[in-house]
Structure 1
């Protein structure tokens, strides 16, 4: 397994504004492992699978959680960097997907220190809503710095009530569409789906962009 040195990981996870968005996740890591891994990669991302570049492309999984998506992508032949700021989730992911060629890093949005591109595919699943408007603006700039020419950006954004103990914001689709348009990204996918965990008051936006 490819991993950055432990010292770099510790430095990368310290003092980042985006870590406020991880409130509540460390204490619930074990339960979240079962929740995240209880739904398959193909089921979650079935509508965006056609956007994936050919393997072995370089992939950055933002807010990788316990590594469900990172492991599935690595299994498809991609070279995957999994960025997860919650140490407890990273450790569970390492154990759950032991032997899978994933490079785990501690970087949190919006800065993502210690991560260098370019990446052919950047995926942010259930992460963007943890950022304030100012953090989202910086995070989008940082993602653009890491996205390769011709690269694909896929964001899946949660909408709905904020669970107790969590930090979330409403992210309008129009905001992301405007940022992407201003950056010269081309919209290639826009869809909405219900929650796969049966929460009737939660829905998800899927947005896919390509840098031509």
Structure 2
């Protein structure tokens, strides 16, 4: 994981521009309609691996109180600078530990976008167990996973979607969406798998 954090720190400015070039509404188009069901006066979201801050800002603009976690400090700095928003709390943290989040916190939406493939299989299991108590009843867990090798030094681990769905089921999470889509940046060797779970 450290080599990946080093990559995101070393390329923070470039990545912030790259991520901002595609709107969150497009990136998360397969599940954004589910947010309409969360018609509450106060809505909360946890953005794990917030990166450039694009997704946290998108959620904040939809009246979510967002806690945004990012382990790469330079990328986190870019996010704070590019998306100053009163509805976002920025924290330096990462899976599977989430040391800054206690179990008394509960969220309507937990978004883990473009992070899962950087976690080893054992940490994928630990991460789901860590996230489970943070999701409100009828809340959503959204995991987006890049499928395809990195050619820039980042490490990606294999994942098994069927195993993830089964583990989620054992943790009282029901699969709502399991979608594979093309890369929004038109990279021919990259696809994305999006899994959306609802807490029973």
TM-score (norm 2): 0.93
State the partner residue of 1:129. 117
Q: How does 1:57-76 map to 2 (within 5 A)?
A: 57-76=43-62
Instruction: Give the superposition deviation at 1:161.
Output: 1.0
Q: Tell me, yes or no, if structure 1 residue 180 matches structure 2 residue 168.
A: yes
- Structure 2 residue 84 is matched with structure 1 residue 98: yes
CA contact (8 A) 1:23 1:166 kept: no
Shift of the alpha carbon at 1:20?
5.0
Aligned residue in 2 for 1:80: 66
Q: Deviations over 1:153-193 (max 9, x none)?
A: 01111110123221211222112111111112111111110
Q: Does 1:153 align with 2:141?
A: yes
RMSD: 1.3
The answer to whether residue 98 in structure 2 is matched with residue 112 in structure 1 is yes
Question: C-alpha distance in 2, partners of 1:106/1:19?
Answer: 14
Measure how far apart 1:23 and its partner are. 3.7
The reply to whether residue 54 of structure 1 matches residue 39 of structure 2 is yes
Structure 2 unpaired stretches of 5+:
none
With structure 1 as the length reference, what TM-score do the two structures score? Answer: 0.88
* 1:125-175 Cα shifts (integer Å, max 9, x gaps): 100000001111111100002112221101111110123221211222112
Q: SS of 1:32's equivalent?
A: helix
Q: Distance in 2 between matches of 1:171 and 1:23?
A: 22
Aligned residue pair count: 195
User: Could you tell me how far apart the structure 1 residues matched to 2:97 and 2:114 are?
Assistant: 17
Q: Is the 8 A contact 1:19 1:108 kept in 2?
A: no
After superposing the two structures, state which structure 1 stretch, 170-179 or 67-76, moved more. 170-179
Matches within 5 A, 1:15-26: 19-26=2-9
Aligned 8 A contact 1:22 1:167 in 2: no
Cα distance between partner residues in 1 of 2:95 and 2:82: 24
Equivalent position SS for 2:133:
helix
Structure 1 stretches lacking a partner, 5+ long: 1-17
Q: Check conservation: 1:19, 1:85, Cα contact below 8 A.
A: no
Cα distance between partner residues in 1 of 2:68 and 2:128 = 18
| Residues in 2 aligned to 1:93 and 1:125: alpha-carbon distance in whole angstroms | 15
| 1:38 aligned residue (4, 21, 26) | 21
